[in-house]
């Protein structure tokens, strides 16, 4: 007598519902690749897809007593894997959202934004104060503080003595403190 694939699968489910491990292994061997392929298309990650498939088969085994009520085993298995994949995607999305949220709080905290605004304002004020100084003092200050030149390098570059460079820097810093009201 000829039996349809649905009838064969239903009989497998009936056998599994009675605890038949051989029937379960047969179902696993018949469906693993198909279900894995479907899960992989949804999840785009090999290990996560394999784990999802294993979870589905564990669920089938743990719920084996209710398998006799299943009309279409194939649809049942694909529905289980689709739901599992969607759960995994939700979990990954939630984890990614949480990670992004934490990153935003660390990187873009209001305090950092305030510091950035304060730093920009301070930079503007320093630039404005420096504009009132001689070209030589501006150049010495910028080479030292912005470009990282040593006193010797500045002296050589600008044909000044090292003590003149020190004096210019000292006077410029004193002036900036007064202008920016630092104490």
Q: Averaged over 36-42, what is the pLDDT?
A: 95
* Domain stops at, among 63, 78, 107: 107
CATH number (domain holding residue 143): 1.10.10.10
Question: Which range (24-33, 57-66, 133-142) has the least confidence?
Answer: 133-142
> Is the pLDDT reported for residue 168 higher than 60?
yes
The answer to whether 35 and 41 have CB atoms below 8 angstroms apart is: no
Q: Considering the chain, what is the average pLDDT of its residues?
A: 82
Query: Is the pTM higher than 0.75?
Result: no
Domain CATH code at residue 103 = 1.10.1740.10
Q: How many CB atoms lie within 10 A of CB 2?
A: 4
Final residue belonging to a domain, choices 73, 107, 141: 107
Domain ranges, residue 153: 110-180
């Amino acid at each position: 007598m000829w039996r349809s694939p649905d009838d064969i699968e239903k009989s497998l489910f009936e056998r599994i519902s009675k605890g038949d491990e051989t029937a379960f292994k047969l179902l696993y061997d018949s469906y693993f690749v198909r279900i894995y392929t479907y899960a992989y298309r949804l999840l785009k990650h090999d290990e996560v897809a394999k784990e999802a498939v294993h979870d589905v088969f564990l669920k089938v085994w743990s719920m084996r007593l209710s398998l006799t009520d299943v009309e279409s085993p194939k649809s049942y298995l694909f529905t289980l894997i689709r739901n599992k994949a969607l759960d995994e995607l939700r979990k990954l999305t939630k984890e990614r959202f949480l990670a992004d949220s934490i990153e935003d709080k660390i990187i873009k905290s209001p305090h950092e934004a305030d510091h950035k605004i304060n730093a920009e304002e301070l930079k503007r004020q320093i630039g404005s104060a420096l504009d009132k100084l001689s070209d030589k003092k501006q150049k010495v200050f910028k080479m030292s503080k912005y470009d990282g030149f040593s006193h010797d390098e500045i002296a050589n570059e600008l044909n000044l003595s090292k003590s003149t460079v020190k004096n210019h820097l000292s006077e410029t810093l004193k002036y900036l403190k007064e202008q920016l009201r630092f104490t």
